[in-house]
Amino acid sequence: MTLDMYQENVLDHHAHPRNKGRIEGADLSARERNPLCGDEIEVFLALSADGRIADAKFEGQGCAISQAAISMLTGEVRGKSLDELEHMTGEDIRELVGVPLSPARLKCALLSIQAMHRALADYKLRQLGHVPQDASAEAADHVHTPYCSH
């Protein structure tokens, strides 16, 4: 794909997000936001009987990069194991988005994987019998990015 095609893909995912919505009774969920710029993502993951991600959805608002990245990522994680999700990195997100990103824009894109990793961490705590702090209340004050220039 050429750079123009990647840019069109980002704009298309922003205008027509895939996997937007909630999964009632999701096995994993978490919310991340950046109150400095307004980007907000809530992820919902459902697991299959063999522990793989059977469904992934999101709700959120924010810039084109943050919303396109989570739209792309929800499609990418389907069928993956939790171990594969845990090992996904910012570089995976950069490759998925496919356009050059400034440091501020990269932070917008990374909100997607941060939300997924938070959901996974909370899930693991629950599996160990620990009840994670209310993720939505904590996320309201949780700032991942020192700035975001939309």
Q: Which domains does the chain have, with CATH numbers?
A: 3-128 (3.90.1010.10)
Does the pLDDT at position 142 exceed 60?
no
pLDDT at 103: 87
Residues 6+ apart with CB under 8 A from 32: 40, 41, 42, 111, 114, 115, 118, 139, 142, 144
Q: What is the mean pLDDT of the chain?
A: 86
Give the mean model confidence (pLDDT) for residues 93-116: 92
